[in-house]
Structure 1
Amino acid sequence: MRYGLAVLILLLAPLLHHPGLAADFPDKGDPASATRRSLETRDGPRDYLVQPLATPGRHPVVILLHGGTQDARRIWKQTSLATIGKAEGFIFVAPEGIDGHWNDGRGSTIAGDPPSTADDIGFLKAVIADVVARDGGDPAHVYMAGVSNGGFMTMHFACNAAEVLAAGANLISDLPAETAKTCTPRKALPWLSLNGTTDTIVPFGGQPPGTKKRGVVQPELLSADATFAFFADRAGCAKAVTARRLPDLDTRDGSWPELRERTGCAGGTASLHYVMHDSGHITPGLKVGPIIGRALGGTSMDVDTGSLLWDFFKTVR
């Protein structure tokens, strides 16, 4: 979702030292070590960052879509996936949206901003094809996740091009109600959702019709629980949900994590919903200033989001 001001403030916020905890998580990525590539598309040249592997053979591909007002370099610095990719042997990819946004199918959410006409589905499919052809990416093991606007784009992509993915994940984002009416993925995808219960930008309980922000009527959103259920249902998972509280690694941040799981999904896998209690519109494990943290609903340093994603994706073989 195009939450330009809130996310822009987040990007400018000073990072704080979290003694005794950050060292427990993998290092965040260094975009200076990434390879930037450009593809010709119907929208003109489009870029993506990639971390190829030197070893021969086919390798899993993990794609992470940045949030609104962000870019590929910024999300590379905010995730541990590049570090984990080197250690675990997968190709990490961060595509670049146009003007910091993805055309995720919801139209315009900002006054005076016309709906995007970018062919982001076509662009992302082209990125996948390029990585498969040039870097030995395994077309049978391509995984996509997205943060905020990138999470909406991941869901939009899954609804329209699920056949090129092995699994997907939406982070701090909910499924638009209109999308849910028409979404018919052509393939069952094991799914991971992650949401904060005190998210001030994408409410955990969903967004009712007629909601206005900055004078603009916003799309109706399903709740976080309904979003997870939607994709778990389409992955063929069993209806029963098991839930367990996870360790509260940092009692100072006021949040605690819960894992909700549905098993028996496509290929004998599970679908997972990480519910970050008293945490907001910030991916867990990302350190931000206290003022911004409070404005966006709170932060959590109890888990590392990149680790959660790879621990899930690598089970889908």
Structure 2
Amino acid sequence: MSPKWSTMLVAAFCAMSEVPQALAAAYLTIDSAGLARTALVIEHAPLKLARRPLVIVLHGENGNGARVRHRLRLESITHSAKPIFLYPDAIHGHWSDAVGAAATRDVAMLRDMTATLERRGLVNSRLIFLVGDSTGGAMAIRAVCAGLGPIAGLATIDTTMPADLAATCAPPKPLAYIAIATGHSQATASPAALAFFAKSDGCAAGPSPAPLVVSDPRNRDVAYVERFSGCKAPVEQVRIIHDGKATSAKIGASDEGASSRAEKMNDAAHLVWAFLKKLGA
């Protein structure tokens, strides 16, 4: 089955989200391992640009590409016409969280979708980034370990590294990694993932915590960034610490009427983009 595209214009999105150009959204359907796999593709119009960075965003449990796009709203943060965003859909909303045929199938799908965009002359293969929310983060780590790539950077939100990967994962080169934790009492997003990438990237010392941003004097919440030193590629985590009253650290947040979870995801999205932007996204 050849790739199929179903295109729609996203009306008035530019004015709502301060994106400098109109956005074009298309649903991509490909045949991968004998299955029809789908993804939402977002790129700026006009499309007569050189090959661009690709940001692949994987949704969490019981989700889909359109839902995680709405949760993170990355396009409204980037203020750039450069990146293409790819939001794949897991089969029945679930990524495989264990080694086996299902995980291999999902990694193959990501590889096939990336290759499809590369063949169309859209993607710079040296600037491919992975972002995963919750179980999507675990899937992103598994894809990196399975040789999807080259990957220029990885970001996970509230993610636990699959247990089997700590002993088997062997990235082909040092990989820039950020782990973000949004929970009230989470000490880290994924101790195993941080320890693994710090070792893989040859980091010399453990992370040093420091306050990152407190943008609202009425909000006592603090976000802490912890960066490993001496790494061949940056490895860091950000913890959003809550005092039990305020709803978020408000890193870049502007919608004070948003729910607590929506604001935390907004914080996380800003942190993800700040990290990826430094890497060339």
Shared fold by TM > 0.5?
Answer: yes
Q: Does 1:259 align with 2:252?
A: no
Pairs within 5 Å for 1:105-254: 105=98, 116=102, 119-198=105-184, 204=187, 224-250=190-216
Shift of 1:257: 0.8
TM-score of the pair, normalised by structure 2: 0.77
Distance verdict in 2 for CA 1:302–1:155, change over 3 Å: closer
More strand by share: 2
Q: What is the match of residue 101 of structure 1?
A: 94
Shift of 1:251: 6.3
Q: Does 1:307 align with 2:270?
A: yes
Q: What is the match of residue 275 of structure 1?
A: 239
Distance between the aligned counterparts of 1:313 and 1:92, measured in 2?
13
Report runs of 4+ in structure 1 exceeding 4 Å deviation.
Answer: 25-28, 115-118, 250-254, 282-290, 299-303
Is residue 182–residue 264 contact of structure 2 (8 Å, CA) maintained in 1?
no
Percent identity of the aligned residues? 25
**Residue deviations 1:45-91 (CA, integer Å, cap 9, x gap):** 10111123414212111111011111111111112222345625111
Equivalent position to 1:39, from 30, 42, 64 = 30
Runs of 5+ unmatched residues, structure 2: 1-15
Is residue 72–residue 266 contact of structure 2 (8 Å, CA) maintained in 1?
no
Equivalent residue letter for 1:272: E
Q: Does 1:50 align with 2:41?
A: yes
Distance verdict in 2 for CA 1:195–1:277, change over 3 Å: same
Distance verdict in 2 for CA 1:26–1:231, change over 3 Å: farther
Runs of 5+ unmatched residues, structure 1: 1-24, 108-114, 206-222, 294-298
Shift of 1:177: 2.6
RMSD: 3.3
Shift of 1:197: 4.6
Higher relative contact order (CA 8 A, sep 6+): 1
Distance between the aligned counterparts of 1:162 and 1:44, measured in 2?
19
**Residue deviations 1:243-300 (CA, integer Å, cap 9, x gap):** 211222356676421000124433xx422201112399x998698646xx5xxxxx75
Is residue 95–residue 106 contact of structure 2 (8 Å, CA) maintained in 1?
yes
Is residue 240–residue 249 contact of structure 2 (8 Å, CA) maintained in 1?
no
How many correspondences in the alignment? 253
Equivalent residue letter for 1:61: L
Q: What is the match of residue 12 of structure 2?
A: none
Is residue 177–residue 197 contact of structure 2 (8 Å, CA) maintained in 1?
yes
TM-score of the pair, normalised by structure 1: 0.69
Secondary structure of 2:125's counterpart equals strand
